[in-house]
Structure 1
C-alpha cells in the first residue's frame, strides 16, 4: 500500500481510517513518506530519518511493537540509531529504542541519545509512584484485565525546556515545547524537508483535551501551538496517531480548524465561569458548531467536547462545580438508601430508571440506578438493571473513554450477579479494545 495515497483518500473521506486504527498497516516494513523518511504506523507512530551519520527517530512507539520496529528498521538500514526524540512521555511513545539499545550494548556502540522535554523525567517518576492507579484506570478504559502499568522507563539522556536545535548528518531539526495533551509535548520541524512531526498535538480525532480519568489538559495553549505549526510552511505533517497530511493548505486547514475547535470549547467554558454559572450549565448549555462536525479529524472517537469543558473548568475553577450539596457530599451509600426509601423501594426506583431510559433520558436513568445500587449493593436484581442501562449507554457512546467506563460498569454488575471477581469475568468474556492509546494520570 502507498500510505500517502491512502492518507489522501481518508482526507477526502473516500476511505475509512479504520485500516490504520485496526493495525492492518503494521506490516514488516516501514512506509516511505518522503526521501529518506519512513513511517512505522503503530499505536503510536514512529518516524525514521536516514542521514549521512546514521538514523534519527522521532517518537518511539509502544513496547508491544518495539522489537518489530527494530527488525523493520534493520531491513531498511544497518546504520546505527544516533538520536531518538520523544514527542512526549506517554507510554505508547517511548519504547522504540529497546532493540537499538540492546544492539549497541552487544556491538560496543554508543546507545542512541534520547532527547525529550525536561518534564518527561518528572512524568516517569510520577508513573512509578502512581503505578497502581495507572494500572486500574487503563484496565477500565481499555477493558484489559491483564494490563500492568510499567515500572521501569527509558529516561531521556538530553532534555530541554523551550527550544533546541539538533543537527545530524546533514539533517537539521528544530524542537520546540508546547502544552497540549501533556505538559511535556514536543514538535519537531525539519526545515530542509518541510516536514513537521507533531506528536499528539494532532491524532486524527477530536483532541484529547478532556479525558475524565487523567491529568490536566491545556486547551488554550494547545490551540496556540497548533496555530504556530500552521505558520511553519510545512508540506508534510506527521502525527503521533493517524495518517500523514500532505500539502500546505491541508495542514493549515487541519491545524487552524482544530485550534478553533479547542478555542470554542475553552472560551465557552470561560463565559460560564465568568458569569458565575455552575458547571451543570456549562456542560449542558452549549452545542458544537456545524463546521466542526463534518471534519474527519474532529470526530469524538476518543475524547468528547463536554469532557474538554470539564477540563477547562478544572483548570480555572477548581473542582467545585457550583452545586453546594457537592461541596461536602453525602456518602454514596447513605444517599442511595435515602433515595430508595423516597422512591418507595428498590423495585420502584429500578422501574423508574428503566422508564427514563426508554424515554431517552439515559443520563437520568444512569443516575437513578446508580443511586439504587449504592444503597443496596448486594441486590442482584438491581445489578441486572444497572448492567442493562449502562450497556445501552455503552452502545450509544462514541468515545473510547465513555465506552470504557460504561463497559466496565456492566462487567462489575454482571460479576456481582454471577458471584465473580470483575477481572476474572473480563478475562473470560472480554477482549481488549482495539486502539490502546495509553496515557498518564499525572497528579
Structure 2
C-alpha cells in the first residue's frame, strides 16, 4: 500500500478555517468521560485463543489525551478521538457499570440480587469476556443472570458468547430484545452481508494504518473488534411501550422505538436507579440517517418523535442518562437538555430537507445549503463524527422521493467506465485531463 502523504497547503488552510467554526471547549466532556473510573487493563488489549490481538487501544496511543492535533486531521475529529481513547470500567451510578472502549460499543452491567444483567455484549466474544472479567474482578465474581439486546446491529449482540456459556444458552437464560430483533438482525447483516462487509471495510478505515495520516477514530467509537461473532436468538421480545419486567430484582420499564436508529430498537428505564438507557438513539454526535456501509434509510421524523416520547415518559425522574456508545450525562437538567437537542437535531434535518425539496431543490443542492441553527451548532454532541449533515439530508430526500433527483439526464446514466471514456474525450484526451487534474489538485 502506498504510504500516506503529508497534508497539502490547501488541506492545512481548510482545516484551520474549519477550526474557527467549532464551539468553545470548556473541558466538560473530558470530565464526564472520566467520571466514575474504576480500572482498566493495559491498552485494553484483548487476545484470541491463537494469541492474536482482536482489540488493542495501544495502536491508537498517538491520539490519546494530551496529544496535539496534527495538520492531517480535522480538529473536531481529533477531540472526539481523544475522548474515545479513555477506556476501562466506570461506575455510572451505584449498581450500574459500563466498560467503555473495549470495542466500538459499550457493555453495561446492572447489579441484581444475585448476579449481573448485561446490556449489549459488544461485537466479539473476546472483548465481551474481557469486560466481564474486569467487572468481576472489581465488583465480585457473580453469574450473568440475563442479557438485553438494545437493537439489531451487530455491535450490540455479536459478543454474546463472551458473557454466556453454551450451558447458559441451552438452559434458556433470559435474553431480552425488541420485537422484530431477529428478523432485522438477519435481514440487515445476512441478506446483504457481503456487500455491507465490503463497504464497512471502507467506512471504518480497516485497511488504513493507525496513525495521524490514516485511521484516527470512527466517531461512534474507536473501531470494530475482530473476534468471534455469534447471534443467539432472544428468549423474549418487548413489543409494547410501558412493558415492565423484573430480572433478578431489577425492575425495567421499556419504550419500544421501531424505525429509529435501527428497525428494531428500544430504550428503557430503571426506576430503582433513576437511570435511563437511550440505546443508540442518542449518542454524543450526529448519527447516520443513512449509513455508508449500506442499510435501509432511517426515519428521522420517527427518531425525533421517540426521543420526545422518552422525555415525556422518563426525563423528570432521571438522575443519569447512559447509552450504548460514548459517556453518560448526570442530573435531570443535563439529561433533558441533551435529549431535547438530539430530538431537535433529527427533526430539523428532516423538516428542512423536505422544505427545500418541496421548493424544487435537488438532493445535492439541499445537502450544500443545509446548515444547523446556532442553538444546535453550539453543542459538541450535535457534530458529524459519524453521520454528516450532507449525507443525512440526501438520506431524508431518498426516504421520501427515492434516488432520482428529477433531472431526466440522471435517470439512466452511463456506468463508470463508459462515463470515464466520455469525460476523457471531453477534456481533450488523457494527457490534457491529467494536466488539468493535477492543476486542480494543486489549487486545493
TM (norm. structure 2) is 0.72
* Cα displacement (A) at 1:131: 2.5
Counterparts of 1:5 and 1:143 in 2: how far apart (Å)?
Answer: 25
Where structure 1 has 5 or more consecutive residues not aligned to the other structure, the ranges are 361-443
1:128–1:5 CA distance, 2 compared to 1 (3 A): closer
1:314 equivalent to 2:398? Answer: yes
Higher normalized helix content (fraction of residues): 1
* Cα displacement (A) at 1:256: 0.8
Counterparts of 1:104-143 in structure 2, within 5 Å, are 104-105=167-168, 110-126=171-187, 127-143=189-205
1:162–1:356 CA distance, 2 compared to 1 (3 A): farther
Counterparts of 1:350 and 1:177 in 2: how far apart (Å)?
Answer: 54
* Cα displacement (A) at 1:52: 1.5
* Cα displacement (A) at 1:19: 4.4
* Cα displacement (A) at 1:104: 4.2
1:45 equivalent to 2:124? Answer: no
Could you give the per-residue CA deviations for residues 160-183 of structure 1, whole angstroms, max 9, x where no partner exists? 223332112332111122132211
1:230 equivalent to 2:311? Answer: yes
**Partner residue in 2 for 1:169:** 248
* Cα displacement (A) at 1:152: 4.4
Could you give the per-residue CA deviations for residues 2-46 of structure 1, whole angstroms, max 9, x where no partner exists? x99831789xxx995544412x413xxx32221111111132112
RMSD, matched Cα: 2.8
Counterparts of 2:300 and 2:274 in 1: how far apart (Å)?
Answer: 26
Counterparts of 1:6-155 in structure 2, within 5 Å, are 6-7=31-32, 18-22=81-85, 24-26=86-88, 30-42=89-101, 43-63=104-124, 64-75=126-137, 76-102=139-165, 104-105=167-168, 110-126=171-187, 127-145=189-207, 152-155=230-233
What SS is found at the alignment partner of 1:66? helix
Where structure 2 has 5 or more consecutive residues not aligned to the other structure, the ranges are 1-27, 36-64, 67-78, 209-223
Match of 1:296 among 369, 376, 380: 380
1:187 equivalent to 2:267? Answer: yes
Could you give the per-residue CA deviations for residues 366-387 of structure 1, whole angstroms, max 9, x where no partner exists? xxxxxxxxxxxxxxxxxxxxxx
Aligned 8 A contact 1:69 1:96 in 2: no
* Cα displacement (A) at 1:111: 4.9
**Partner residue in 1 for 2:291:** 211
Counterparts of 1:180 and 1:197 in 2: how far apart (Å)?
Answer: 15
Counterparts of 2:294 and 2:238 in 1: how far apart (Å)?
Answer: 25
**Partner residue in 2 for 1:393:** none
Aligned 8 A contact 2:196 2:294 in 1: no
1:270 equivalent to 2:350? Answer: no
Could you give the per-residue CA deviations for residues 186-245 of structure 1, whole angstroms, max 9, x where no partner exists? 101112221011111122111222323322112111111222223322110111111110
4+ long deviations beyond 4 Å: 14-17, 145-152
1:71–1:228 CA distance, 2 compared to 1 (3 A): same
**Partner residue in 2 for 1:395:** none
Counterparts of 1:144 and 1:281 in 2: how far apart (Å)?
Answer: 31
* Cα displacement (A) at 1:335: 1.8
1:162–1:276 CA distance, 2 compared to 1 (3 A): farther
1:221 equivalent to 2:318? Answer: no
Counterparts of 2:261 and 2:437 in 1: how far apart (Å)?
Answer: 36
* Cα displacement (A) at 1:295: 1.0
The aligned length equals 349
Aligned 8 A contact 1:190 1:196 in 2: yes
Counterparts of 1:318-397 in structure 2, within 5 Å, are 318-360=402-444
Counterparts of 2:431 and 2:413 in 1: how far apart (Å)?
Answer: 25
1:294–1:350 CA distance, 2 compared to 1 (3 A): farther
Counterparts of 1:305 and 1:149 in 2: how far apart (Å)?
Answer: 33
* Cα displacement (A) at 1:358: 4.1
**Partner residue in 2 for 1:366:** none
Aligned 8 A contact 1:115 1:156 in 2: yes
Match of 1:249 among 313, 316, 333: 333
Aligned 8 A contact 2:238 2:254 in 1: no
**Partner residue in 1 for 2:213:** none
